[in-house]
Amino acid sequence: MKKYLLGIDIGTTGSKAVLIDTNGKVIAHSTNEYPIIVPKPGWSEQNPIDWWNATIKSIRDVIKTSGIEPGCISGIGLTGQMHGLVLMDKHNKVLRPCILWNDQRTIKECKIITQRIGKERLINIAGKPALTSFTVTKILWVKNNEPEIYNKITHILLPKDYVRYCLTGEYGMDVADASGTCLFDVGNRKWSEEIISILNIKKEWLPAVYESSEICGYVNRDTARATGLKLGIPVVCGAGDQSAQAIGTGIYAPGTVSVTIGTSGVVFAAIDKYQSDKTGRLHTYCHAIPEMWHLMGVMLSAGGSLRWFRDTFYKQELIKARRQKIDIYDLITYEADEVPPGSEDLIFLPYLSGERTPYPDPYARGVFFGLSLKHSRCHMARAVIEGITFGLRDCLELLKDFGIEFERVRVSGGGAKSSLWRRIMADVFNLDVVTVNATQGAAFGAAILTGVGAGIYRDVGSACERIIKETDVTKPNKNVKIYEQYYQQYRKLYPALKEKFKALSDIRADRR
């Protein structure tokens, strides 16, 4: 009987299921979307039940599309958006909407955590400073602002781990995703007794942690009925989306670096020993591989910036594209390709949701700099793509400063599909930009981890060598020098505007 592996990704915009065979061939995939709730400017939430309903539909879709017998699925792996706070009570009910990774409400709590633990000590233990993205800041916000909910907490989970609970009835979390809570002793791959104690968080609220390929539950009867899956299929712990994405592009050994352009933009480097960046600009996590870690730089609005641009400046075209079932981004990149490198002196700062790397600043905002009468929508489209790429280079430069050596990057995510964007990346980075045959992202990586847990592959490295192959290399060309000049101007803009961003926020705060 042929065996199959199922990866599920609880993303920011939708739940994706990917079914592969043991050679890595994608048999079927399906994504079902759900909304983001924005109760106030800078806030971002979702209802966990929306994830589960979308997951049920995605699983049913791939089973129907593939035509396979559910009993042929050897295991299920989970991945998903990181840092989101899911709170559950003693009756296993969700207490409030999940506060997402890109929510910016916890500035006050970041300061409290830093004062109590100390920035240097926190970075040493958790691999990162207290920033609005991380789960611990959201826990303290609920304590300070919603005490009636805080007092009912029995379990704290991350998004994909809520879906695991729905699948299996079991609570658990992988070390890679737990690394992003800022409650984790990343070097020792366990919950930090010190941080938990100082912040007076009950340890019993936190689930048991596992390595990513460990089995931590089995499909239960309710799930089997709802999804069409076979009762008792093993579910491996999985990984946060960035570790799973890296596995899905073959980033499993030291010296390999990837760039992923999704809603956020992520630069990822695998390392074989725990190291923390004392400046707090790069963040260290457990990798989805035992005894491996990774350094990560994150832009909060990478593909998210281009999506905003699409929704704002291509409204009519978007309606038409959806009706005709064509990709609106093909039109945007076609128009951008009509504009010369540097967008005729137009520079975009992609800080629409604040920023994390290299500037951990929730007040930062997007800017078009150099806008003039000669600039059109086409210029702005190219400037957005170039600005995002400049931000990704900021992250790569930090890796170099940290002593990580590399001559090429593997790229994935929506941005990697565009030949124009790959050319811009090669020229801005002055590096070879490489794509691979695996294009289903984090869900594909979760499926690989499932194969390791199910005993189909010996380990993650051998699985990646068997499955993942390079498909295209884009080399830097004559535009490297042009982009170097524009990048140096880009780097000067945030320092010049930093205090202005904060002053702008203060005006809004004074009017409340």
Residue from 421, 403, 117 nearest 261 by CA: 421
Q: Is the N-terminal amide bond of 254 cis, ω within 30° of 0?
A: no
Beta bridge partners of 435: 472
| Catalytic residue (one of 9, 185, 241, 427) | 241
Q: Give dist(CA 65, CA 510) in Å, integer.
A: 55
Write the CB contacts of 372 (distance below 8 Å, at least 6 apart in sequence): 345, 346
| Domains of the chain: residue spans and CATH | 4-249+439-471 (3.30.420.40), 297-437+477-507 (3.30.420.40)
Indicate whether this model's pTM tops 0.75: yes
Instruction: Give the chain's radius of gyration (CA, Å).
Output: 22
At residue 510 the predicted structure's pLDDT band, cuts being 50, 70 and 90, is low
Give, in order, the Cα–Cα distances in Å from 203 to each of 132, 192, 206.
21, 9, 6
Q: Which two tokens stand for residue 127?
A: 């691999």
Q: What is the pLDDT of residues 293-340, one digit of tens each?
A: 999 999 989 999 999 999 999 999 999 988 988 899 999 999 999 999
How many C-beta neighbours within 10 Å does residue 202 have? Answer: 10
Residues 118, 129: contact at Cβ < 8 Å? no
- Helix (H) and strand (E) counts in the chain: 18, 24
Query: What pLDDT shows up at residue 306?
Result: 96
The angle formed by the CA atoms of residues 305, 391 and 41, to the nearest 5 degrees, is: 40
pLDDT exceeds cutoff 90 at 438: no
Closest CA to 217 of 172, 175, 157, 154: 172
- Picking from 16-25, 136-145, 225-234, 323-332, which range would have the lowest pLDDT averaged per residue? 323-332
Buried b (16+ CB within 10 A) or exposed e, 431-462: bebbbbebbbbbbbbbbbbbbbbbeebeebbe
Which residues make Cβ contacts (< 8 Å) with residue 105, sequence separation at least 6?
Answer: 40, 42, 43, 99, 132, 141
pLDDT for 506 equals 86
Does 89 participate in catalysis according to the annotation? no
- Where on the phi/psi map is residue 230: left (φ > 0), alpha (ψ -120 to 50), or beta? beta
Inter-residue contact 58 to 31 (CB < 8 Å): yes
The answer on pLDDT for 144 being more than 70 is: yes
pLDDT tens by residue, 363-391: 999 999 999 999 999 999 999 999 999 99
Place of tokens 């029995």: 154
Q: Which residues pair with 415 in a beta bridge?
A: none
Q: Is the dihedral of CA 327, 261, 442, 307 positive or negative?
A: negative
* The 3-state secondary structure of 172-212, one letter per residue: CEEHHHHHHHCCEECCCCEECHHHHHHCCCCHHHCCCEECC
| Residue whose C-alpha is closest to residue 359's, from 368, 371, 367, 350 | 350
At residue 512, does pLDDT exceed 70?
no
Express as a percent the part of the chain with pLDDT over 70: 99
Q: How confident is the model at residue 48 (pLDDT cuts 50, 70, 90)?
A: very high
With 0-12 CB in 10 A as exposed, 13-18 as middle and 19+ as buried, what is 232? exposed
Q: What is the mean pLDDT of the chain?
A: 95
Label residue 507 by pLDDT band (50, 70, 90).
confident
Give mean pLDDT, residues 433-456: 94
Q: How confident is the model at residue 511 (pLDDT cuts 50, 70, 90)?
A: low
Q: Report the alpha-carbon distance of residue 28 to residue 32 in Å, rounded.
A: 14
Count CB neighbours of 400 within 10 A: 10
CA within 13 Å, CB half, 489 = 14
Q: What is the mean pLDDT of residues 11-23?
A: 95
Q: What are φ and ψ of residue 35, in 5° steps? A: -85, 160
pLDDT, residue 439, reads 85
DSSP helix, strand, coil percent of the chain (3-state; round to 5): 45, 20, 35
**Could you tell me the pLDDT band of residue 500, with boundaries at 50, 70 and 90?**
very high
Q: Which residues contact 360 (CB under 8 A, 6 or more apart)?
A: 129, 131, 280, 281
pLDDT at 509: 67
